[in-house]
Structure 1
Amino acid sequence: MIDSDMIRRIALTVRLPLRSDVEPIKLRDDFLNSCRAADDRYLDVLDAILHLANATPASLARILEEGGSVWKVREDGKGLERRVDPVATEAFTQATTPEDLASSELRQAWSRAFGRDSDASDAWDHAIKAVEAILAPIVVPAQDKPQIGHVLGQLRSQGDRWRLVVPGPDQDHDVSPLVTMLKTIWPNPDRHAAGNHRTPSLAEAQAVLHLAVTIVQWARSGAIARA
């Protein structure tokens, strides 16, 4: 049986123009022909089906994997995302295990960095917010509306009050590697008011996200602490 209503909902979601005054079979054929007209249209449709229909994510996940697709079904079954190195994926999973603000921001960053509706600038923003959420209570707990800039200022001016679990080349547990990491991810060039304002690439945002995952993991494990 052809579900005309679902076809129309999916078509609306992926911006496919379809006539509303045709028989179900004709509607289905028009829909499939529109999908064939663009290389990525089927992927958009699959993503929409996972969001809208009572699809079985496991069966689609198996098809994508066996077909060697660069796309896979998200862990929550609500869409597609790019297949990422298993080590990086596991690090992300561990970093987002606790249900807190940092995890929520990382998940949004991941979706925007690797999902079908990718947005490099938005992914970068959420990665920064995840780091702010995890580090501010540790480094600047009394700061009103804390940002990475406040964290950086504290670590730069009073770095001797902090230590990393990694001893470093001088065996002094210096926090300068963390400072460098924070300077790398902040600010988002798309939010920079100076003349070097620009939209970041997706590859840049993905790299920033992986760096944010590492920082969040460090903070959760106690690798960043008062001296």
Structure 2
Amino acid sequence: MNMPDRFDEEAEMRKQAARTVQHTTDEKPATVARSGWNGSRIRPIAFWATTLVIVAELTAGSVWNLVPIEWVEAQLRHLGYPHFFAYVLGVWQAGAAIAIIAPRLPLIKEWAYAGAFFLWSSAVVSHLIVGDGLQTWGVPLMFGTCALVSWALRPADRRLPKTRLRRYRPADDGQDWAGPSETRPRAWAVPIGLLVILYAVSFLTLPAAEAMTHGWAVDLGWIEK
């Protein structure tokens, strides 16, 4: 092999190596973009799914406690709580539902999340203390877990300034990224409309809920047929 041929071969090899590196470099942003897209889509879906679960439970629970239905009274007697405790729970459940679903109000949201978790975790402990099985404390455990997930995944505009998530910026000045605050009327109209629907459903399904929970209380031995 003469010198020109060898130089040509080396030049061709360098070109192929450069094309390979360029191809790999081009693929990385696409992979990162797809990964970021998946993460950016999954997080809000998980947040709103768990948030709607706990808000629906808080609204229904507030109705059941403020009426109160037979299931609530039987459960309070079984656990050793006074009758008036149902009304206290009902009022605070309604307030927590409003605070969690509404936009902004980050400090009140912290209190609402803490109160909701305390409510459901206390229910779990109360049932465990009196020796109840999984069928009684499993449900509040699920709602308490949903409350934790919703709290952990809440977006930046629903967090206190010191707990907001950070977003990468090319010229990061070290400050927490707060994101845009929702001030449009629609941002408040949607939560209000959702609460109206949830409360309407809770009241309309109250007779069916009483019949269903009556059977639960009988099966658990809390009341007689």
TM-score w.r.t. the length of structure 1 is 0.30
Larger strand proportion of the pair = 1
Q: Choose between structure 1 and 2 for higher RCO, CA contacts under 8 A separated by at least 6 residues.
A: 2
Say which one has the larger Rg. 2
TM-score w.r.t. the length of structure 2 is 0.30
